[in-house]
Amino acid sequence: MQLRRMPLNVAVAGALTAALLVGTAPSSTATVQNTPAGKTLRQLAKPTGVRIGTAVDTSALANDATYRTLVAQQFNSVTPENVMKWEVVQPERSRYDFTEADKLVDFARANKQKVRGHTLVWHSQLPSWLNEGTWTKRQLRRILRQHIKTEVGHFRGRVWAWDVVNEAFNEDGTLRDTIFLRTLGPGYIADSFRWAHQADPKAILFYNDYNIEGRNAKSDAAYALIKELVADGVPIHGYGVQGHLSTQYDLPNDMQGNLHRFGKLGLRTAVTEADVRITLPVSPAERLAQSAGYSYMLQSCLLERSCISFTVWGFTDKYSWVPGVFPGEGSANIYTEEYEAKAAYHALRRDLAVAGGVRPRRR
């Protein structure tokens, strides 16, 4: 299809941006209302067939009215930033707590949003009873199966897509040394997908990782493994690229081509955790580079028919994970801490508006 390799026409996009942005000097009130063109991100995303999502901090959702308004208004997909992770849902062995996650799922239903479940099998944010325990292969297998089946079963029919296995690879393409790999061997990955599928046969099951947006050793390794899993009939349905970029590095190499090769395996693809951090203080040039980074990722998704959602990892700097993990860096989201929309927000609107008229709908 001709669209595949064709970048969105920059001149057209630029003209459209200008049209969209007439009179939109960012202000805290302007951003809470619809922008002057009258459409929110989710409204612009609808004709593209790509869901536009955000990670949600559930304590901000409960306590910050502006945050809550924007989650509902701008996005048609949500991902719990933390409250579906193992340490939260199973803090003690066989004691499950879905209270916070249930609240988000209810919020999503009330606002006609899909839920991306995040994440079932990950080396991080594991409860200490699990991480510090000593387990035989048989015991850990049983624990993993019970965890996946209980969590996916609890949300059956209410979670659209799951990040089943998260961050299983090292940068060089070898498998990451985790409690799961060490104890169970590489077969834990296929087993995890099988158990998740048994618990909810309709959910779209993703492999999810960072630094696999473009072509490199890590995405090549993910491709080789996923190809094998598909050939073996393992129920894996999606390839999620997190999209944590920084303006100090190059953009991912051939992101659309990379998504496309997974699409050709029959998988859906998605950008699952987009943000573009900046070394502080922010200069105008970096603001532009940030907006180009967001735009590059969204355009790669819009150009690839297998891509079904584009999720930002939080939308406001007010609750960003970045400064805590990368000291001296920040401003990674599409709204400032004061909820002013940044150039990156407007770039996303422009891309959705342009693509809405040309992208064939998949579903």
* Enzyme catalytic residues: 167, 273
Q: What's the angle, vertex CA 356, arms to CA 355 and CA 361, rounded to 5?
A: 100
Tell me which of 17, 66, 73, 82 binds ligand G3I, using CB under 6 A.
82
Cβ 82 to ligand G3I, closest distance in Å? Answer: 4
Element of type H or E holding 344: helix 343-356
Nearer to ligand G3I by Cβ, of 19 and 325: the residue is: 325
How far apart are alpha carbons 301 and 259 in whole angstroms?
8
Within 311-330, which residues bind ligand G3I (CB under 6 A)?
Answer: 321
Tell me which of 81, 191, 213, 351 binds ligand G3I, using CB under 6 A.
81
273 binds ligand G3I per the rule CB under 6 A: yes
Nearer to ligand G3I by Cβ, of 344 and 352: the residue is: 344
Contact 117, 166 (CB under 8 A): no
Nearer to ligand G3I by Cβ, of 321 and 339: the residue is: 321
Nearer to ligand G3I by Cβ, of 83 and 221: the residue is: 83
Within 242-261, which residues bind ligand G3I (CB under 6 A)?
Answer: 242
Nearer to ligand G3I by Cβ, of 123 and 149: the residue is: 123
Site string for ligand G3I, 122-151 (x = CB under 6 A): --xx--------------------------
Among 57, 63, 99, residue whose Cα is nearest residue 81: 57
Nearer to ligand G3I by Cβ, of 166 and 300: the residue is: 166
Q: DSSP letter string over 298-339? A: HHHHHHSTTEEEEEES-SBGGG-SHHHHSTTEE--SSB-TT-
What number of chain residues touch ligand G3I (CB under 6 A)?
Answer: 7
Cβ 321 to ligand G3I, closest distance in Å? Answer: 4
Cβ 273 to ligand G3I, closest distance in Å? Answer: 5
The total of other beta-carbon atoms located within 10 Å of residue 216's CB is 18
Element of type H or E holding 271: strand 268-279
Strand partners, 307: 269
Cβ 4 to ligand G3I, closest distance in Å? Answer: 28
The total of other beta-carbon atoms located within 10 Å of residue 274's CB is 29
How far apart are alpha carbons 81 and 83 in whole angstroms?
6
40 binds ligand G3I per the rule CB under 6 A: no
Cβ 151 to ligand G3I, closest distance in Å? Answer: 15
Cβ 92 to ligand G3I, closest distance in Å? Answer: 14
Element of type H or E holding 268: strand 268-279
Nearer to ligand G3I by Cβ, of 272 and 300: the residue is: 272
> Phi, psi at residue 246, to the nearest 5°?
-135, 140
Contact 316, 341 (CB under 8 A): no
> What token pair was written down for 196?
């998740």
How far apart are alpha carbons 82 and 144 in whole angstroms?
19
User: Which residue's CB comes closest to ligand G3I?
Assistant: 321
351 binds ligand G3I per the rule CB under 6 A: no
Within 86-125, which residues bind ligand G3I (CB under 6 A)?
Answer: 124-125
How far apart are alpha carbons 258 and 266 in whole angstroms?
14
> Phi, psi at residue 22, to the nearest 5°?
-50, 120
> What token pair was written down for 160?
């659209």
Cβ 125 to ligand G3I, closest distance in Å? Answer: 5
Within 164-223, which residues bind ligand G3I (CB under 6 A)?
Answer: none
**Which spans of this chain sit near ligand G3I (rule: CB under 6 A)?**
81-82, 124-125, 242, 273, 321
